[in-house]
Amino acid sequence: MSTPSIENIRHILVVGSGAMGSQIGLVAALAGYRVTIQDISAEMLAAAKSQLASRLQANVAKGKASAADADAALARLSFRTDLAAVADADFVIEAATERLDIKQEIFARLGELAPPHAILATNSSTLGSSKVAAASGRPTQVCNMHFFNPALVMKCVEVVRNEATSQTTVDTTMELARRFGKEPVLINREVPGFVANRLMGAIQKEALGPARGRHRQPRGHRLHRQNRARPPHGAV
Ligand SMILES: NC(=O)c1ccc[n+]([C@@H]2O[C@H](COP(=O)([O-])OP(=O)(O)OC[C@H]3O[C@@H](n4cnc5c(N)ncnc54)[C@H](O)[C@@H]3O)[C@@H](O)[C@H]2O)c1
């Protein structure tokens, strides 16, 4: 199966309209793409629609976007509870609930219904795309495209390949992230937490260690304390 060149990507499907999916959809619409946001929950879709409209209005009020650009972005967005729009999607970003069974089912349907050239990316923070690649039936066209919260603001996008991901899929996904105005980082191996969350986890552990009583001083510091002259008995 051939993947599209970046120039041929016109329609992007975002699956899931929660905290991440709704903003990823708006990022893509602001970058000039036609976007369908799909969710099984009509309530979530309605909430996403009104939140995105308010965000655009706020951006206009703050002078971050012109009213014409905001209207145009809104006009490029559609909201659906069914998956019909996948039939002419060139690129899919799955941002549904973080459950493997749900994602595998979604990727099986996407694999069946999407045009052969479409790339299927997952925004999952913890599930590598290798876990859904087989279900899609097109493993070379599957990768993680991991945005950070809030997706409208955060510049970093991690593109994580699995062992089957083709170079064309990687290159197209990296370039799409750039066209979204993001700064993509390529991760060539599926490692738990990818890179940014893994680093954040390590930093938090180090920073919170003393508060949780688990902090060990560096060896030099411990020796220094042991060798220090002891205060006279009874002294503080
Ligand atoms: N929240 C974050 O900070 C964050 C950051 C980066 C990545 N992520 C990833 O993004 C994904 C979504 O996270 P979120 O925080 O937006 O979740 P969320 O709970 O806000 O939204 C998930 C949405 O998926 C919908 N959904 C469930 N099953 C579906 C299906 N079969 N088809 C279509 N839609 C379906 C739900 O109705 C809901 O609207 C997860 O994979 C998560 O790991 C989250």
**Domain around 202:** 198-227
User: Is 36 part of any domain?
Assistant: yes
The answer to whether residue 125 is catalytic is: yes
SS3 for 144? Answer: strand
Task: Tell me the CA–centroid distance for residue 83 and ligand 1, in Å.
Answer: 16
The structure's pTM equals: 0.90
Return the amino acid letter for 138.
Answer: R
Answer yes or no: do 183 and 210 share one domain.
no
Tally of helices (H runs) and strands (E runs) in the chain: 8, 8
Residue 123 has pLDDT above 70, yes or no: yes
Answer yes or no: do 68 and 175 share one domain.
yes
Let me know: does 198 contact 192? Beta carbons within 8 Å: yes
| 94-102 mean pLDDT | 98
What are the φ and ψ backbone dihedral angles of 83, each rounded to 5 degrees? -100, 15
What's the rounded Cα separation, in Å, for the pair 58 and 65? Answer: 9
Number of structural domains in the chain: 2
For residue range 171-198, what is the model confidence (pLDDT) as tens digits?
A: 999 999 999 999 999 999 998 888 888 8
User: Is 1 part of any domain?
Assistant: no
For residue range 209-223, what is the model confidence (pLDDT) as tens digits?
A: 877 776 555 555 554
Pocket test for ligand 1, best of 13, 20, 52, 94 (most atoms within 8 A of CB): 20
pLDDT of residue 213: 75
Task: Tell me the CA–centroid distance for residue 176 and ligand 1, in Å.
Answer: 21
For residue range 4-48, what is the model confidence (pLDDT) as tens digits?
A: 789 999 999 999 999 999 999 999 999 999 999 999 999 999 999
The answer to whether residue 206 is catalytic is: no
